[in-house]
A and B are shown apart, each in its own frame.
Chain A
């Protein structure tokens, strides 16, 4: 019974490699985008704040699958042909970016206002205050939820299979169609996803412990 899984394991692992790549790109770019927007959303420009709030609230109210479908069909509607990976990747980056922005924004705003007053009273300029005072303190607060956010993002890449981007889940469905061994194959897929995510979970725990020790 387990043989079906073993013989198809190489194919699944090739899918896992694609999943890993997709996840890496989505998490990295999504986090970068979200961090930038989060910093702006905690800043002084009223227009920026309003625009980013709309973005955050809109994306929070839409299932990631719907965002991906929109992303997938938006390009053809505009007369553009893009690769399924690009459409899926962009949609997920935008989605991850919204959640990241909210985490970063609230982390910056949670730094005590006395910190900014002290930095200003030394004559620090805005950029310096952000770099030397706000971001290091906000990072301590933001990193645990950001790691959690990344975990969700990794798992969400499995939706890519629905719009036809080949990765781990897609590969699994192909094998199941051929072998009809759905249970065994998806048991294997489960194990692979877990193996990808587990290090991130460990990292989050380790960081949490470090937080309670430092300072």
Chain B
């Protein structure tokens, strides 16, 4: 059974349809990279899987369970109550482009937030867990610092540790290196790569092509709200089928004049 199964997902913001029937599945332990130009609906797709957005049609299954809506009498779709959605989010970690750390809490306290206030873990255990995760992302020495005193790369690694603290079944990464200075990108990608090697199921939206080639089991190319191409990285990146992807690749591989 697939860990995540998206079928014919449709999502509009007003009259603007951003997802036009997207279907794909992610197996347990699989690492899928989603490529595509900005505005193609990649972020929205991740936010739907984490139930942060509503959608108009289609089905999302997480670990076999259909999430987000129930169908009432007469085929009417009813959105899940907030508490039920929260239960799903506990199992699906999301890391944001803009980090979104809690600025009023230290790095350690940020990582402890989920275990303390969602898992209802005792403080000593939560502290131990959080300290271990900060160590894992290489930030044991920054535990007592506030986010504002950390670099972008460090903040993003804390954010990854914060999501991992919930021991999620899946991790979603939404352009997590796009807001970083180039020299800080590597330290975040290294952490993600290690996660992938440990067998975490991951969906990664990124523009880092070499990283995608190294780490992913499969690449999905999204354009205009639909999947235009997918396959193993070697195949998709070496011989892109669509003109759109060719152009995209040229630009992200350094040809900044590509039009």
Spell out A's residues near B (CB within 8 Å). 112, 114-115, 117-126, 128, 132-133, 136-137, 140, 215
Residues of B within 8 Å of A115, CB to CB, are 100, 102
Are B148 and A123 in contact, with the CB atoms below 8 A?
Answer: no
Q: Is the CB–CB distance between B103 and A215 below 8 Å?
A: yes
Chain B residue at smallest Cβ distance from A126:
B82
Contacts A117-B52, A128-B118, A215-B148: A122 and B103 contacting too (C-beta < 8 A)? Answer: no
Of B65-73, B84-92, B213-221, B231-239, the one contacting chain A is B84-92
**A153, B160: Cα distance in complex, Å:** 46
Task: Tell me, rounded to whole Å, the shortest Cβ–Cβ distance linking B147 to chain A.
Answer: 8
Say whether B248 faces chain A, with CB atoms less than 8 Å apart.
Answer: no
Q: Which of A114, A120, A123 contacts B98 (CB 8 A)?
A: A114
B88 — nearest CB in chain A belongs to which residue? A123
Contact, CB under 8 Å: A123 / B104:
no
Option from A118, A126, A128, A140 in Cβ contact (under 8 Å) with B100:
A118
Measured between alpha carbons, how far is A56 from B114 in the docked complex, in Å?
36
Known: A128-B118, A132-B113. A122 touches B89 (CB 8 A): yes
Closest to B104 in A: A136
A115 to B52, CA, bound (A): 13
Query: Within 8 Å of chain A (Cβ to Cβ): is B163?
Result: yes
- Contact in complex: A118, B118 (CB < 8 Å): no
- Once the chains are docked, how many angstroms separate the CA of A137 from the CA of B101? 12
Tell me the nearest residue of chain B to A117, going by C-beta. Answer: B52
Interchain CB contact under 8 A, A215 and B118: no
Question: Within the assembled complex, what's the spacing in Å between the Cα atoms of A114 and B50?
Answer: 14
- What interface size band does chain B fall in? 20 to 34
Contact partner, A124, options B96, B117, B146, B163, Cβ 8 Å: B117
Assess whether B90 is in contact with A125, with CB atoms less than 8 Å apart: no
Cβ of B162 < 8 Å from any Cβ of A? yes
B225 at the interface (CB under 8 A from A): no
What 10 new A-B contacts, CB under 8 Å, besides A122-B166, A124-B113, A137-B103? A114-B98, A115-B100, A115-B102, A117-B100, A119-B102, A121-B89, A123-B91, A128-B118, A136-B104, A215-B148
CB distance from A138 to the nearest CB of B (A): 10
Is A215's CB under 8 angstroms from B86's CB?
A: no
Which residues on B sit within 8 Å (CB–CB) of A215? Answer: 103-104, 146-148
Which residues of A sit under 8 angstroms from B92, Cβ to Cβ? 121
Contact of A122 among B82, B83, B90, B146 (CB under 8 A): B90
Judge if B94 is at the interface, Cβ distance under 8 Å. Answer: yes
For residue A124, which residues in chain B have a CB less than 8 angstroms away from its CB?
86, 113-114, 117-118
Question: B41 at interface (Cβ–Cβ under 8 A)?
Answer: no
Residues of A within 8 A of B117 (CB): 124, 128, 132
Q: Is B152 an interface position by the 8 A CB rule? A: no
Knowing A114-B96, A133-B102, A215-B103 are in contact, say whether A121-B50 is a contact too (CB < 8 A).
yes
Q: Which residues of B contact A120 (CB under 8 A)?
A: 52, 86, 89
For the complex of A and B, list the 9 residue pairs with the smallest distance between their C-beta atoms, beginning with the closest: A123-B90, A118-B100, A114-B100, A121-B94, A122-B114, A123-B118, A123-B89, A136-B104, A123-B86
The answer, yes or no, to whether B93 is at the interface (CB within 8 Å) is yes
Closest to A113 in B: B100
Is the beta-carbon distance between A123 and B82 smaller than 8 angstroms?
no
Smallest beta-carbon distance B204→chain A, Å: 16
**Contacts A115-B102, A132-B113, A215-B104 given; does A121 touch B163 at CB 8 Å:** yes
Interface residues of B in 146-161 (CB under 8 A from A): 146-148, 159
Closest to B51 in A: A120
| Chain A residues with CB below 8 A from B147, complex form | 215
Q: How far is the CA of A112 from the CA of B86 in the complex (A)?
A: 20
Residues of A within 8 A of B90 (CB): 122-123
Could you say which residues of chain B place their CB within 8 Å of the CB of A119?
102, 113
